Amino acid sequence: MSSTFEVVAKVISETSEIPLEQITPESHTIDDLGIDSLDFLDIVFALDKKFGIKIPLEAWTEEVNQGRASVDDYFILKNLCARIDELVAAKTA
Amino acid sequence: MRLEYFEMIDRVDLFDAERGHIETTSVVPAADESPVFEGHFPSYPIVPGVLLLETMNHNAGWLIMGLNKRTRMPFFVGSRKLKVRKFVTPGQILKGQADLVHEGSGFAVTRGQLRIGNDLIAEAEMTMMIMDFPSARFKAELEARALKIGMVTAVGA
C-alpha cells in the first residue's frame, strides 16, 4: 500500500508535470515546486477524489490570512500529508 | 441568448439538486440580431467556440448557485477536455446540461454538454471558484437574471 506522501507526490507530478524525483517530503509546493493557486486547485480535486475526503481549503486559507497558521503548515508536503492523514482518520472514525 | 451581453441562458428547464444536474435552453439569435455575427463571420455567421464554452460555464454556474441557494457566486477558473464538435449557426436552439462532478472546499468541478437535437455540439469539464458576491448590487443583478430565466421557479426563492 502506498504511503500518503507517495500518493500526493504522484498526484502533484501528474497534475503539474513536475518530475517525481524532484518532489520530497520537505518540498514547499509554492516556493520549491512553483505550483500556483489554480494548479493547487487541480491537485486538491485529485486528492479529494483519491482519499475520499474534502480538504478544507477555505478554512486553511482563512487560518493563514488571520495569522492562526502559517503557510508552511499546509504547503510543505510532509505537513500536507499529515493533514490528509487526519482527515482520512476523521472520516473513518 | 444575447451574446454581446453574455446572457447565454434563456430558460432553466430542469434543476435536480439531488443529482446535481441542470438542463437549460438557449436560442441563438438571428444573424442580424447580434453584432457578434458582424465579425464572426460577416459572410458565414457561426457562434464563436469561446461563447459555447461560456454557455456551458453559465450552465455550471447556475447549477452551483441552485445547489447553494444563490448564497455564493461561482467564477470560472479553468476547463479540461473541451471539445467543440459542430458549428452553431443563428436561430438554432441549444439544449444545455451540467452535472456536478465534485464539490470541494471553495471550488467545484462540473461537466457540461450542449446539444442540438440529438447531436452533441460541445462538451467540457469546468472548475469554478466559489466566492462571496462582490457586492449587494451584483447579487441583485444576478437575482433578477435568475428570476428571468426561471431559476427561482426551478429552485425556489
Question: Is the confidence at residue B40, as pLDDT, over 80?
Answer: yes
What pLDDT does A82 receive? Answer: 96
pTM, 2 dp: 0.92
**Which chain A residue has the Cα nearest residue B130?**
A58
Pairwise CB contact (< 8 Å): B104 & A42:
no
For residue B123, the one-letter residue type is E
What pLDDT does B156 receive? Answer: 66
Residue B2 is inside which H or E element, if any? none
Confidence of residue A84 (pLDDT cuts 50, 70, 90): very high
Q: Are A16 and A33 in contact (CB under 8 A)?
A: yes
Enumerate residues 60 to 89 of chain B having a beta carbon within 8 A of any beta carbon in chain A. 77-78
B40 is catalytic: yes
Local structure of residue B41 (DSSP, 8 states): -
Q: Which of A38, A49, A56 sits opposite B102 (nearest CB)?
A: A49
pLDDT average, residue stretch A14-28: 95
Confidence of residue A92 (pLDDT cuts 50, 70, 90): confident
Joined together, the cell numbers standing for residue B81 give: 477536455
Task: Supply the mean pLDDT for chain A.
Answer: 93
Quote the distance between the C-alpha of residue B149 and its chain's center: 11
Prior bond of B41 cis (ω within 30°): yes
Provide, as residue numbers in chain B, all residues whose Cβ is less than 8 Å from the Cβ of A44: 104-105, 107
**Which chain B residue has the Cα nearest residue A44?**
B104
Inform me whether the C-beta atom of residue B129 falls under 8 Å from chain A C-beta atoms: yes
